[in-house]
Amino acid sequence: MTENKKSIGKENGGASKTRVRVESFSISLDGYGAGSNQSIDNPLGIGGEALHNWFLPTRTFRTMHRSFDPRAGQEDGTTGLDDDFAQRGFKDIGAWIIGRNMFGPIRGPWPDMNWKGWWGANPPYHVPVYVLTHHARPPLEMEGGTTFYFITEGIHDALAKAREAANGKDIRIGGGANIIQQYLREGLIDELHIAIAPTILGEGERLFDGVNLRQSGYECVRFEASEMATHIIFQRSEA
Amino acid sequence: MTENKKSIGKENGGASKTRVRVESFSISLDGYGAGSNQSIDNPLGIGGEALHNWFLPTRTFRTMHRSFDPRAGQEDGTTGLDDDFAQRGFKDIGAWIIGRNMFGPIRGPWPDMNWKGWWGANPPYHVPVYVLTHHARPPLEMEGGTTFYFITEGIHDALAKAREAANGKDIRIGGGANIIQQYLREGLIDELHIAIAPTILGEGERLFDGVNLRQSGYECVRFEASEMATHIIFQRSEA
């Protein structure tokens, strides 16, 4: 009965070696990480934007937004719990791994090399980003330190390359749900920050489908809510 | 983007006719309403007890506990958000509907009539309780106003009988997950209070499997967290 209470607040302090982290990954109350019918006009699927209502007003996002989108407003953004979590997602990150849909809406072979990602000329990564895809493409160097590398050899290859590039810093797995599940099933993620948003998606990609977090040794070490989201940190227990 | 913010706090005031409500139904961070391997020694399944860590210390539960279990301690219990939600679950309830596992651990035909429920001589319902089962059994009158009626004709029959018995008050659907899903799929539930507990179950019965809350017209009208749980109220929008 007290097991759970004890575990809250057990979050690890600074680690000395590269950790693989999921950060600011939002799910709906019914467990979905994106809505259904994702498309170029609706990259987060039907209703999926509401997942990020806690993130978009934060100072972290507002600052980031101005740096990659000249149309972004000048508001400072909010501080507090939501911003603390937004901020930690970018701390000590030496490389990212993302699924192809987080790079862009194109499926199948690349028709040409014109699409350079959702994020404009100066994407908010500023480190090497490994994009999992079935379709090879030369690396794409952007402004501000971001280079996209297209990995066709699977999640282990991406992780090995990201680890080398991170050079002692951490690796952030961006998503989507399917990519996170693949790494979870292989026991390769050290820590996850999940935000539960007060919205219902009804259908889509469930983050925790096909994974058994308990069996994989994860526990909830932090649980704290704002009005916009319940923030959770999962860590693997040191078995 | 604001759709969701607007909806928070839209909770309906007092209603004038019988509503069908789910109350204090706890799910894990990964969406399960009970752990795996439920048994007589472990009625909530492996790890399932942690789902109720927010409820058990409340004044509402402590008071209830003393009335049905002479071994219960004398502590007053906590007040505050968790207790507010525990309390509202018993307000204006004229009848309950529960699955057979909430009555007892026996599966298949009744071996005899000796099992009188998990709850002792004076169960905490104090109103008629309709138990969904495939195996007929005569009604069982307990102390304190609780009578168990065993319904073999399915969820619609149970609801009709509960509605008559409730006599203008509300009907509470107790669970488990499977019973709630059946009523949700038929659009028969007006309001759900769900508590998300900071625990991981890994496997078991997912509350929202096989239901599309969004399509069924539900929205989140309240979202508020204590240290022990995030409380959510879903209501069907008046279409």
Optimal mutation site among B53, B192, B200, B208, interface A, most CBs of chain A within 10 A: B200
Return the pLDDT at B6.
36
Domain B3-105+120-236 grouped into CATH 3.40.1650.10: no
- Between A176 and B9, the higher pLDDT residue: A176
Count CB atoms within 10 A of the CB of residue A184: 22
Does A213 contact B at CB distance below 8 Å? Answer: yes
CATH code of domain A23-36+45-104+172-236: 3.40.430.10
- From first to last of the 239 residues of chain A, give the pLDDT tens digit: 333 333 344 454 444 589 999 999 999 999 999 888 887 777 788 888 999 999 999 999 999 888 777 778 778 899 999 999 999 999 999 999 999 989 988 888 998 888 888 888 899 999 999 999 999 999 999 999 999 999 999 999 999 999 999 999 999 999 899 999 999 999 999 999 999 999 999 998 899 999 999 999 999 999 999 999 999 999 997 64
- Judging contacts by C-beta atoms under 8 Å, the chain B residues touching residue A206 are 31
Contact A94, A127 (CB under 8 A): yes
B207 and B27 Cβ atoms separated by less than 8 Å: yes
Min Cα–Cα distance to chain A from B11, Å: 14
| ipTM of model | 0.87
User: Hey, which residues does A235 pair with through a beta bridge?
Assistant: A191, A219
Reduce the DSSP state of residue B105 to 3 states and report it: coil
| A3 contacts B214? CB cut-off 8 A | no
Structure tokens at B45: 């399944």
* pLDDT computed for residue A14 by the predictor: 43
CB A143 within 8 A of CB A122: yes
Half-sphere exposure of B154 (CA within 13 A, CB side): 4
The H or E element containing residue A99 is strand A93-99
